[in-house]
Amino acid sequence: MIDLFKKNRIRLFQKLPNNSIAIIYSNEICFGNADTILPYKQNNDLIYLTGILQPDTILLLYKDDNQNNEFLFIKKQTTKELLWEGEKLNKEKAKAISGIKNIYYIDEFQKISDKLFQNINTIYLNKTKIKEKLNISKDQKLLNEYQNKYPKYKFKDLQPIISKLRAIKEKEEIYNIKEACNITNEAFRKVLKQIKPNIMEYEIEAEFIYQFRKIGCKGFAYNPIVASGKNSCILHYEQNNAKLKDGDLILLDIGVNYNNYNSDITRTFPINGKFSQRQKVIYNSVLFIMKSAMGIIKPNLTFKEYNKKINSLIEEELLEIALITENDIKNQNPLEPAYRKYFMHGISHHLGLDVHDPIDYDIPMKEGMVITVEPGIYIKEENIGIRLETDILIKNNGIEDLGREIPIEIDEIEDLMDN
């Protein structure tokens, strides 16, 4: 992966103007109650550029007229920290992971950055936006501090540049996402045989995490959704504590984190192993929309064009299965179309280091992008929520469905659940 991190930094340097500096900070440690520390999650932009996973890390990229200069700052551990936390990266290990030669301890950052700042006119910081009106982000605080200290410099947001770079996946990234999908496939096939009436949703969740952890993965890519019956109509249901009932469906929205990259897969299964006739009708509509969407995706297609086609397709399907009427469409609010009663979320998002990778959706589809396709129909009054989701690699000569091995056809699902 060291070659990937080097390549990513080169690509970023190519986007930066001369006499500029880009600074990327690690995420902060989050504390729970009392002295507990929540599981640490690194800034994915920093992972993308260095592979460093620990807190108290700063990457500084300095570009002048002659060359690109890279500096990585890490924390020097105290004896007490070594005792309580174990060994973190030293300079040699940080260099071996990132490929950066200039490694310093973080207490040297101010002195080195002050010296470099004398020769620049532009400073890039990542995510320099206020996230909430009354809650100023760490990045905004840093921006405020730098602006007060260096009022004559230009300050620009690094995030749009990195987002465009991250949108096109390199071969190493594609490999990791494929592995995440392969692992998810194996887990789905094993867990599918465990589904039956009268067990609990959390038992299914436990089977998935067992399959992921036993082969060394960090765990779920996001909080898993194990939603049976009426819960399948709750888009972000996460309680996973209801009993599976005979005749209901179970919606499983599951992903795994493999080597910092994610899968994002959804399947919907009959709890007793057989779809009812009504469930088949809704399921086949969702599957048809999914396959149609996959047939539309291609390089240079804009997301605006893509979404317009999909929304029309969903409207047609809902008319076909009599969930909406022509009169509903005729009298609909343009800002809240009739189909939104049964399909409330987007059809696709980018996938990578983040489950929802940051991206400017004005950029058309390109080879190397990985996106999800996830249509759904949710009928609360019938306790039927069906969503199907897979991960798609866009290629110049078509697409590759990275979740194609995970059971999705009705006959295959029923056959697997019967054996």
Q: How many residues does the chain have?
A: 419
User: What is the number of domains present in the chain?
Assistant: 2
Lowest mean pLDDT among 81-85, 154-158, 243-247, 303-307: 81-85
> What is the model's pLDDT at position 407?
96
> What is the model's pLDDT at position 131?
46
Average pLDDT, stretch 46-60?
97
Q: Are residues 130 and 251 in the same domain?
A: no
> What is the model's pLDDT at position 94?
97
Domain carrying residue 368: 171-418
Q: Are residues 158 and 219 in the same domain?
A: no
Q: Are residues 386 and 255 in the same domain?
A: yes
Average pLDDT, stretch 227-247?
98
Whole-angstrom Cα distance, residue 207 to residue 242?
16
Please determine, for residue 119, whether its predicted confidence score (pLDDT) is greater than 90. no
Q: Are residues 182 and 80 in the same domain?
A: no
> What is the model's pLDDT at position 136?
54
Average pLDDT, stretch 189-203?
96
Please determine, for residue 53, whether its predicted confidence score (pLDDT) is greater than 60. yes
Q: Are residues 198 and 245 in the same domain?
A: yes
CA 293 distance to own-chain centroid: 20
Q: Are 393 and 378 in contact (CB under 8 A)?
A: no
> What is the model's pLDDT at position 134?
44
Q: Are residues 210 and 336 in the same domain?
A: yes
> What is the model's pLDDT at position 132?
45
Q: Are residues 295 and 395 in the same domain?
A: yes
- pLDDT band for position 37 (50/70/90)? confident
Please determine, for residue 130, whether its predicted confidence score (pLDDT) is greater than 50. no
CA 87 distance to own-chain centroid: 29
CATH for 138? 3.40.350.10
> What is the model's pLDDT at position 150?
79
pLDDT digits (tens, 9 = 90+) for 246-258: 999 999 999 999 9
- pLDDT band for position 204 (50/70/90)? very high
Q: Are residues 279 and 310 in the same domain?
A: yes
Average pLDDT score over the chain = 94
Q: Are residues 111 and 210 in the same domain?
A: no
Instruction: Judge residue 92's burial from the number of C-beta atoms within 10 Å of its C-beta, 0-12 exposed, 13-18 middle, 19 or more buried.
Output: exposed
Chosen domain end from 139, 167, 195: 167
Whole-angstrom Cα distance, residue 250 to residue 245?
9
Q: Are residues 181 and 64 in the same domain?
A: no
- pLDDT band for position 85 (50/70/90)? confident
Chosen domain end from 150, 167, 184: 167
Chosen domain end from 130, 148, 167: 167
- pLDDT band for position 137 (50/70/90)? low
> What is the model's pLDDT at position 141?
75
> What is the model's pLDDT at position 212?
97
> What is the model's pLDDT at position 127?
63
Q: Are residues 145 and 6 in the same domain?
A: yes
- pLDDT band for position 142 (50/70/90)? confident
Please determine, for residue 314, whether its predicted confidence score (pLDDT) is greater than 60. yes
CATH for 270? 3.90.230.10
Please determine, for residue 304, whether its predicted confidence score (pLDDT) is greater than 70. yes
pLDDT digits (tens, 9 = 90+) for 322-369: 999 999 999 999 899 999 999 999 999 999 999 999 988 899 999 999
> What is the model's pLDDT at position 138?
65
Q: Are residues 142 and 223 in the same domain?
A: no
pLDDT digits (tens, 9 = 90+) for 368-389: 999 999 999 999 999 999 999 9
